[in-house]
């Protein structure tokens, strides 16, 4: 069972089609669901993925274009209809807080569900810090202020070597410290080095979500060598001339970012409605970077 998974609820762009929904992704990390963007229809896709509303605690908005936001009022209404109460934190710019508060008050103001806002800026910052992961923002280049979100697991506990723990008679009260890297001092004063008692932790994983943006070379370095990079591929090189003015990237440009960042894998998406065959994004990206995963609604992708 993976404890870090990506669910694609929608990977189309602004103009909705019968093949793709507008943007929404859910990061499923341990017991918590983190939604990134919430295009119209996201709450239904959420149900189709058999995710549970009670596990949804955070929504991150990359920017304030309708195709990334307009599913949120309906989702919040539905959460309120659950009737059990609960709390959701929406991470968005101050403008987003202002308009969304008006909408929620009007359409869901009487519902027993609390929405809290965390106002973010289009800068590099850590915006969420939990015991098991951090989320940081990276500013992007779109037509309006936009950020990408990078989820990074914190270092995990080292694995106990059960036989060595028994041999050296380590008491249970010490186990947590030893998983954290501490040595053990026996009652007779002999010090047992941590490496004797433990093996290295499971590697920490990281996920970067980059949408929407024009290509700029400095981005790769800001992202770094993540395990999975979602990077928008709105266009192919055939329409490269339109990409930058509209604040979007081609599949080749996304692959260039993945390669230069040292990412392990690239996930495509935010496809323009003009393409009928999505495999063009895959083929174009693979010319630059080998490990490309073609996105689609319904995709569930474990990071480990």
Catalytic residue numbers, as ranges: 67
Using rule CB under 8 A, residue 216 touches a copy of itself: no
Asked if 1 is part of the footprint of a copy of itself (rule: CB under 8 A), the reply reads no
Task: Report the interhelical angle of 279-286 vs 251-261 (nearest 10°).
Answer: 40
Q: Is 85 in the site for a copy of itself (CB under 8 A)?
A: no
Are 207 and 6 in contact by the 8 Å Cβ rule? The answer is: yes
Q: Which two tokens stand for residue 71?
A: 């599913």
Residue count, binding to a copy of itself (CB under 8 A): 32
Nearest distance from residue 43's CB to a copy of itself, in Å?
6
CB closer to a copy of itself out of 26 and 219: 26
**Closest distance to a copy of itself from the beta carbon of 78 (Å):** 6
For 114-142, the DSSP string reads EEEEEE--SSSEEEEE-SSEEEEEEE--S
Helical spans, DSSP H, in the chain = 42-48, 66-69, 72-81, 94-108, 162-167, 175-179, 194-197, 219-223, 240-246, 251-261, 279-286
Q: Cα torsion at 11, 47, 75, 115 (round to 10°)? A: -110
* Residue spans of alpha helices (H) in 150-250: 162-167, 175-179, 194-197, 219-223, 240-246
Q: What is the DSSP-derived secondary structure letter of residue 61?
A: -
247 lines the binding site for a copy of itself (CB under 8 A) = no
64 contributes a contact to a copy of itself by CB under 8 A: yes
Residue 106 found at the interface with a copy of itself (CB under 8 A): yes
Nearest to 140 by CA among 208, 73, 77: 208
Q: Which stretch binds a copy of itself (CB under 8 A): 8-16, 115-123, 260-268, 288-296?
A: 8-16
DSSP track, 271-297: B-TT-S-THHHHHHHHTT-S-EE---T
Contact between 86 and a copy of itself per CB under 8 A:
no
Q: Is 212 in the site for a copy of itself (CB under 8 A)?
A: no
Other CB atoms within 10 Å distance of the CB of residue 226: 24
Cα separation values, 32 from 22, 109, 154, Å:
23, 25, 15
Query: Minimum Å distance from CB 103 to a copy of itself?
Result: 6
> Which residue's CB is nearer to a copy of itself, number 16 or number 201?
16
Give the tokens for residue 303. 């990071």
41 lies in the binding site for a copy of itself (CB under 8 A): yes
Residues 191 and 134: beta-carbon distance below 8 Å: no
245 binds a copy of itself (CB under 8 A): no
- Residues between 251 and 280 that touch a copy of itself (CB under 8 A): none
Q: How far is the CB of 158 from a copy of itself (least distance, A)?
A: 43
Identify the residue among 8, 36, 56, 67 touching a copy of itself (CB under 8 A).
67
State the minimum distance, in angstroms, from the CB of residue 77 to a copy of itself. 4
CA distance 22 to 17: 9
Looking at residues 109 to 128 of the shown chain, list those that interact with a copy of itself (rule: CB under 8 A). none
How many Å apart are CA 292 and CA 26, to the nearest integer?
A: 19
Question: Contact between 190 and a copy of itself (CB under 8 A)?
Answer: no
Applying CB under 8 A, which of residues 3, 5, 32, 44 lies at the interface with a copy of itself?
Answer: 44
Q: Does position 18 bind a copy of itself by CB under 8 A?
A: yes
The yes or no reply on residue 145 touching a copy of itself (CB under 8 A) is: no
User: Contact residues for a copy of itself (CB under 8 A)?
Assistant: 14-18, 21-22, 40-41, 43-44, 47-48, 64-67, 69-71, 73-74, 77-78, 81, 95, 99, 102-103, 106-108
């Amino acid at each position: 069972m993976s404890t870090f998974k990506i669910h694609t609820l929608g990977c189309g762009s602004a103009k909705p089609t019968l093949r793709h929904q507008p943007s929404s992704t859910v990061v499923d990390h341990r017991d918590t669901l983190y939604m990134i963007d919430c295009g119209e229809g996201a709450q239904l896709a959420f149900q189709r993925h058999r995710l549970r509303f009670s596990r949804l605690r955070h929504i991150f908005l990359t920017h304030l274009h309708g195709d990334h936001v307009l599913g949120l009022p309906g989702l919040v209404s539905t959460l309120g209809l659950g009737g059990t109460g609960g709390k959701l934190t929406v991470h968005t710019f101050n403008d987003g807080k202002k308009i969304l508060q008006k909408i929620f008050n009007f359409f869901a103001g009487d519902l027993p569900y609390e929405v809290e806002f965390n106002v973010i800026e289009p800068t590099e910052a850590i915006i969420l810090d939990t015991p098991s992961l951090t989320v940081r923002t990276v500013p992007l280049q779109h037509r309006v202020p936009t950020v990408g979100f990078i989820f990074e697991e914190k270092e995990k506990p080292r694995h106990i070597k059960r036989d060595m723990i028994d041999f050296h008679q380590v008491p249970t009260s010490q186990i947590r410290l030893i998983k954290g890297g501490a040595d053990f001092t026996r009652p007779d004063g002999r010090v047992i080095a941590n490496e004797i008692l433990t093996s290295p932790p499971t590697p920490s994983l990281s996920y970067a979500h980059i949408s929407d943006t024009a290509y700029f070379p400095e981005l790769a370095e800001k992202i770094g060598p993540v395990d999975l990079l979602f990077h928008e591929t709105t266009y192919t090189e055939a329409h490269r001339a339109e990409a930058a003015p509209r604040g979007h990237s081609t599949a080749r440009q996304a692959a260039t970012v993945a390669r230069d960042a040292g990412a392990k894998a690239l996930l495509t998406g935010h496809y323009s409605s003009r393409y009928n065959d999505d495999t063009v994004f895959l083929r174009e990206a693979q010319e630059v970077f080998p490990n490309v995963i073609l996105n689609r609604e319904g995709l569930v992708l474990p990071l480990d």
